[in-house]
Structure 1
Amino acid sequence: MTSSQKPKKQDLPPTAWAVLGLLSFPGERTGYELKKWADSSLRFFYWSPAISQIYAELRRLEELGYAASERSGPEEARAKRRYAITDAGRQALAGWAADTEDAGPPVLKHGLLLRVWLGHLAEPERLRAMVSEHRERTLAELAAVREAMEQAADVREWAFPVLALRWSERQHLAELELAEALLSDITVLEASATHPAAAGTGEAGAAGGPGQGDGDAPTAG
């Protein structure tokens, strides 16, 4: 097949591909079941769509012929609808998964570090408390990742999701190390700020600002 004969790649948001990816594993699932699985897998290394997003994408995928559904009970308003991927959906998903152009670099949006960056407006004790709270949340997330790994370990079809969860386990362990290092950095910075010599240096630096120039931003050395 030449490039002109190849089907046009469907321009879908990442949420749609994520939902279709959940459907690519064996079995049919309801929107609620897809949400539960996203909460126990996707959220550890990407994000978990809201249930409203999942149902919106399921409708979109059905319109495109990438997914199909049927009611699991009588034709009633509250009857559960179960979804499955179609052959066309599996082919489109495989093409998207193999496309490295759209993968892009990871985007880090660390709320805690944004507040540390503004640490000159906060008390060091409050910063330490925020880092400690972050460390506790990370420990809880690490436990959840390991629980998900245990549940998926014996399912042959979930071998690759386990690899992603294992990566997430390592990432959470690294986050714990970074939190400990950040606590030490805050303590050192607080001690240097109260040292007479350091205080004098700070006053001298304050005249010129962080960039030592009018409106200059800090530059990497």
Structure 2
Amino acid sequence: MADEDPAAKATLAATSWAILAILSPERELSGYDVKKVTEWSIRYFYWSPQFSQIYAELKKLEKLGLVTSRMDHDNGARNRRLYKITAAGLEAVTRWANDTPAEPPMLKHSVLLRVAFGNLAGPEKLKDLLQEHVEFAEDMLRQATHDAQVAETVDAWAYSRLALQWASRYYASERELALQMMKDLDEAEEAFGRSGGPGSAPAPRYWDEIGEKVNVEGKQA
């Protein structure tokens, strides 16, 4: 029996809401179909869940009565389970799209984290990391641009196209930021050398003192 607890629906993970949104045109899709949609769309700006996560969320959504499923025996030698959104699911995801505040984006940039502690690696190693990041950004830029162009052929994908175009601009910017940082590393290494090198970093509370001094000087300027 479906769980109709409104509180349970309100605490769905982002993956569940994304899956419901993908199913919202009210057509039947398999877990594999859902994965393919995430691969050409939301992976550029959010994430692409693993198959195991998709199937786990689909089971949860079915238990909540937000989707239904059936076995498809007309798909050749291999059977597959098809999922379809229910009226309750469509109502819930529409309410999510309209009424749920969007969380502020959280930047978790592993390359930038390494740069922040670059004194432990040195500029040459960081340049290697940044070059790899440039190549990654260029690859994502090519893929996002291609998928945005594909989306232009179908009017029903108009909103997806906007997100893909934004992703293209994002990865172009990411590439330029990485290239600029590669140029700035030598200057950073020179400044770090003037500081006295490893072990010369001030105590955390000293940061507050310097910050306060900058604030005062800024007000006086």
Shared fold (TM-score greater than 0.5)?
yes
Q: Distance in 2 between matches of 1:104 and 1:13?
A: 13
Asked whether the 8 Å contact 2:119–2:198 carries over to 1, the reply is no
Partner of 1:61: 61
Task: Please identify, of 77-86 and 26-35, the stretch whose mean Cα deviation from structure 2 is larger.
Answer: 77-86
2:70 corresponds to 1:81: no
Q: Distance in 2 between matches of 1:218 and 1:49?
A: 40
1:18 to partner: Cα distance: 1.0
CA deviations 1:126-166 (Å, max 9, x no partner) are: 10110011000000001110121122211122111111111
Partner of 2:164: 165
Q: Which of 163, 186, 202 is 1:210 aligned to?
A: 202
Asked whether the 8 Å contact 1:23–1:29 carries over to 2, the reply is yes
Partner of 1:96: 96
Asked whether the 8 Å contact 1:25–1:157 carries over to 2, the reply is no
Asked whether the 8 Å contact 2:122–2:189 carries over to 1, the reply is no
- Paired residue type of 2:136: R
Residues 149-188 of structure 1: pairs in structure 2 closer than 5 A: 149-188=148-187
Asked whether the 8 Å contact 1:72–1:82 carries over to 2, the reply is yes
Q: Which runs of 5+ in 2 are unaligned?
A: 1-5, 215-221
TM superposition score normalised by structure 2: 0.83
Asked whether the 8 Å contact 1:112–1:131 carries over to 2, the reply is yes
Q: Distance in 2 between matches of 1:53 and 1:87?
A: 23
Asked whether the 8 Å contact 2:30–2:83 carries over to 1, the reply is yes
Q: Distance in 2 between matches of 1:141 and 1:93?
A: 29
Q: Distance in 2 between matches of 1:80 and 1:147?
A: 30
Q: Distance in 2 between matches of 1:28 and 1:204?
A: 61
Q: Distance in 1 between matches of 2:146 and 2:130?
A: 24
Q: Which runs of 5+ in 1 are unaligned?
A: 1-6
TM superposition score normalised by structure 1: 0.83
2:16 corresponds to 1:16: yes
CA deviations 1:66-121 (Å, max 9, x no partner) are: 111222216xx9511111211111110010111243x1210000000110111010
Q: Distance in 2 between matches of 1:59 and 1:31?
A: 11
Aligned length: 204
1:123 to partner: Cα distance: 2.2
- Paired residue type of 2:49: P
Q: Distance in 1 between matches of 2:111 and 2:13?
A: 28
CA deviations 1:156-193 (Å, max 9, x no partner) are: 22111111111111111111121122111102223445
1:36 to partner: Cα distance: 1.4
RMSD after superposition: 2.5
- Alpha carbons of 1:124 and 1:31: their partners in 2 closer, same or farther (altered >3 Å)? same
1:45 to partner: Cα distance: 0.8
- Paired residue type of 1:51: F
Match of 1:19, SS? Answer: helix
1:218 to partner: Cα distance: 3.1
1:23 to partner: Cα distance: 0.9
Partner of 2:37: 37
Query: Once the two structures are aligned, what percentage of the paired residues are identical?
Result: 41
Q: Distance in 1 between matches of 2:167 and 2:197?
A: 44
Q: Distance in 2 between matches of 1:78 and 1:62?
A: 22
